[in-house]
């Protein structure tokens, strides 16, 4: 009998997308669904970069260099310089989205059976790439009470084995929105040097830091050989569908090996690279408006959430996600119920159950992730829905008022 592979069986389905059929069914019933479940921003892709593609005079859409067009990589050198990262165009490998940068990192640095430590909750697709690469994810818990700060370094030390080869940090974090401090990044640096670990640094949301300074893994002197930066233009310029990212590293051995994976797939998308070049030429103030908008949305969302009885949402310092603890028995059930059995004024809200972001089974059962990728009016309407839903949901748990109040 024909059988699929073990990894094909073990590969986790997307936890964010598994509720999609319920959302489609709700829509068919005429219910408007506010999508706070997925990091697809509504901010317009800058017209300048779409126009760059519209005005291309290219006659033949050729393969680019496997590492990306040199002209684009040289532009990226300028971009990185602006954010305090000093790299050459030969340390930048242009990838098909940040996803491919993550994949190249796993395949280039880790053997099957190796372990990668990731503070949980974490970006769920790390699981998929780990599964594809045969790598084991070792989660260590960060807590909603601290706003998902870096777990104590002792927690890392406890799980480090001979198999541990890397730590992944996403900064600012998806799904928590937490912005790691310089002190935390220094702690990560020290442990990576002490135990000879790679630091995979996913910095997709670099431009969206609200209450503090962004510290890149590439800002840490002495860690140059350890850092594999995974980057993407998806969120930065609201261009998720371009599929354009980059793997950046000063470790030549890693770069050269990643390049062989890049050669096997020939080249990253060509039209997206035209957009990428134009993006580097956007005026420096370009980010002011989207950043202000995200910040206003965050403030609204967090305020509304924390005003609901039994709900706790730490204020995220960056990205465009917030994690909230809800007074519900099971966030998977609750999110499905929102789509299947609930509506308010013919509207409902789609959230991502946090269970999909934890590596440890059982965690996240009373947490959800909210992506503030809709305008404030929609967020307000979505919060109205959530508020009503929490009043009606049959699986509601007792609200610990004192604790909830204390946390706010």
Q: Which parts of 80-99 interact with a second copy (CB under 8 A)? A: 96-97, 99
> For a second copy, which stretch binds (CB under 8 A), given 44-52, 281-289, 330-338, 347-355?
44-52
Supply the minimum distance, in Å, between the C-beta of residue 18 and a second copy: 10
14 lies in the site for a second copy, by CB under 8 A: yes
> For a second copy, which stretch binds (CB under 8 A), given 8-16, 288-296, 329-337, 379-387?
8-16
25 lies in the site for a second copy, by CB under 8 A: no
By CB under 8 A, what part of segment 210-269 binds a second copy?
225-226, 238-243, 251, 253-254, 257-258, 260-261, 263-269
Closest to 236 (Cα-Cα) out of 323, 319, 123, 170: 319
Q: Which is nearer to a second copy, 81 or 265 (CB)?
A: 265
Supply the minimum distance, in Å, between the C-beta of residue 156 and a second copy: 17
DSSP-based three-state secondary structure for 174: coil
Closest to 189 (Cα-Cα) out of 159, 221, 214: 221
Tell me how far apart the alpha carbons of residues 223 and 188 are, in angstroms, rounded to a whole number. 10
Q: Which is nearer to a second copy, 206 or 226 (CB)?
A: 226
Q: Which residues of 69-105 are buried (b: 16+ CB within 10 A; e: fewer)?
A: beebbebbbebbeeeebebebebbbbbbbbbbbbbbb
Supply the minimum distance, in Å, between the C-beta of residue 208 and a second copy: 17
347 lies in the site for a second copy, by CB under 8 A: no
Supply the minimum distance, in Å, between the C-beta of residue 119 and a second copy: 20
DSSP-based three-state secondary structure for 72: helix
DSSP-based three-state secondary structure for 228: strand
71 lies in the site for a second copy, by CB under 8 A: no
> For a second copy, which stretch binds (CB under 8 A), given 102-110, 214-222, 279-287, 339-347?
102-110
Q: Do 189 and 222 meet the contact criterion of CB atoms below 8 Å apart?
A: yes
Q: Which is nearer to a second copy, 111 or 392 (CB)?
A: 111
Supply the minimum distance, in Å, between the C-beta of residue 100 and a second copy: 7
Supply the minimum distance, in Å, between the C-beta of residue 230 and a second copy: 13
Q: Which is nearer to a second copy, 242 or 390 (CB)?
A: 242
Q: Which is nearer to a second copy, 112 or 398 (CB)?
A: 112
Helix (H) or strand (E) holding 10: helix 6-10
> For a second copy, which stretch binds (CB under 8 A), given 85-93, 103-111, 304-312, 380-388?
103-111
- With contacts defined by CB under 8 A, how many residues of the chain interact with a second copy? 78
111 lies in the site for a second copy, by CB under 8 A: yes
Tell me how far apart the alpha carbons of residues 408 and 406 are, in angstroms, rounded to a whole number. 5
Tell me how far apart the alpha carbons of residues 366 and 311 are, in angstroms, rounded to a whole number. 10
CB under 8 Å to 185, separation ≥6 — which residues? 169, 171, 215, 217, 219, 220
Give the pair of three-digit tokens for residue 226.
Answer: 């350890």
Work out the end-to-end distance of the chain between its first and last CA atoms, rounded to an integer number of angstroms.
58
According to CB under 8 A, which one of 13, 84, 152, 395 is a site residue for a second copy? Answer: 13
By CB under 8 A, what part of segment 145-204 binds a second copy?
196, 198
Tell me how far apart the alpha carbons of residues 232 and 208 are, in angstroms, rounded to a whole number. 13
Supply the minimum distance, in Å, between the C-beta of residue 360 and a second copy: 20
Q: Which is nearer to a second copy, 267 or 347 (CB)?
A: 267
By CB under 8 A, what part of segment 262-321 binds a second copy?
263-272, 275
Q: Which is nearer to a second copy, 125 or 306 (CB)?
A: 125
Tell me how far apart the alpha carbons of residues 84 and 103 are, in angstroms, rounded to a whole number. 25
7 lies in the site for a second copy, by CB under 8 A: yes
CB under 8 Å to 45, separation ≥6 — which residues? 237, 238, 239
125 lies in the site for a second copy, by CB under 8 A: yes
28 lies in the site for a second copy, by CB under 8 A: no
40 lies in the site for a second copy, by CB under 8 A: yes
292-299, long-range: CB within 8 Å, 24+ apart, which pairs?
Answer: 293/43, 294/208, 294/210, 294/320, 294/372, 295/210, 296/376, 297/372, 297/374, 297/375, 297/376, 297/379, 298/177, 298/210, 298/322, 298/372
Tell me how far apart the alpha carbons of residues 345 and 116 are, in angstroms, rounded to a whole number. 46
Q: Which is nearer to a second copy, 230 or 311 (CB)?
A: 230
């Amino acid at each position: 009998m024909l059988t699929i592979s073990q990894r094909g069986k073990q590969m986790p389905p997307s936890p964010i997308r598994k509720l999609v059929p319920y959302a489609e069914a709700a829509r068919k019933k005429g219910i408007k669904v506010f999508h706070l479940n997925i990091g697809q921003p509504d901010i317009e892709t800058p017209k300048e970069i779409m126009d760059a593609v519209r005005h291309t005079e290219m006659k033949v859409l050729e393969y680019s260099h496997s590492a990306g067009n040199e002209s684009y990589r040289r532009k990226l050198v300028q971009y990185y310089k602006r954010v305090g990262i000093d790299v050459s165009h030969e340390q930048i490998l242009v990838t098909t989205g940040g996803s491919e940068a993550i994949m190249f990192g796993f395949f280039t640095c880790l053997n099957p059976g190796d372990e990668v430590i990731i503070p949980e909750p974490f970006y769920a697709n790390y699981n998929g790439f780990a599964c594809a690469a045969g790598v084991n994810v070792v989660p260590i818990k960060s807590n909603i009470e601290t706003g998902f700060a870096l777990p104590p370094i002792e927690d890392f030390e406890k799980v480090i084995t001979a198999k541990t080869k890397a730590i992944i940090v996403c900064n600012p974090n998806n799904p928590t929105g937490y912005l790691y401090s310089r002190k935390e990044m220094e702690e990560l640096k020290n442990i990576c040097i002490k135990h000879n670990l790679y630091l995979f640094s996913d910095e997709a949301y670099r431009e969206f830091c609200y209450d503090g300074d962004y510290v890149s893994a590439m800002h840490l002197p002495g860690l140059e050989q350890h850092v594999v930066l995974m980057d993407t233009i998806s969120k930065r310029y609201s261009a998720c569908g371009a599929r354009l990212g980059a793997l950046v590293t000063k470790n030549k051995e890693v770069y050269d090996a990643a390049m062989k994976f890049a050669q096997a797939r020939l080249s990253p998308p060509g039209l997206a690279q035209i957009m990428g070049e134009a993006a580097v030429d956007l005026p420096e103030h370009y980010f002011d408006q989207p950043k202000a908008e995200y910040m206003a949305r965050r403030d609204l969302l967090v305020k509304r959430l924390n005003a609901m009885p039994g709900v706790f949402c730490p204020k995220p310092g960056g990205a465009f996600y917030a994690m909230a603890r809800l007074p519900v028995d099971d966030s998977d059930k609750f999110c499905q119920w929102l789509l299947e059995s609930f509506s308010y004024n013919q509207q409902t809200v789609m959230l991502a159950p946090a269970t999909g972001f934890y590596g440890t089974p059982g965690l996240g059962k009373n947490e959800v992730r909210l992506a503030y990728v809709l305008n404030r009016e929609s967020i307000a309407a979505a919060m109205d829905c959530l508020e009503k839903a929490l009043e009606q949901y049959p699986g509601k748990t007792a609200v610990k008022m004192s604790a909830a109040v204390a946390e706010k």
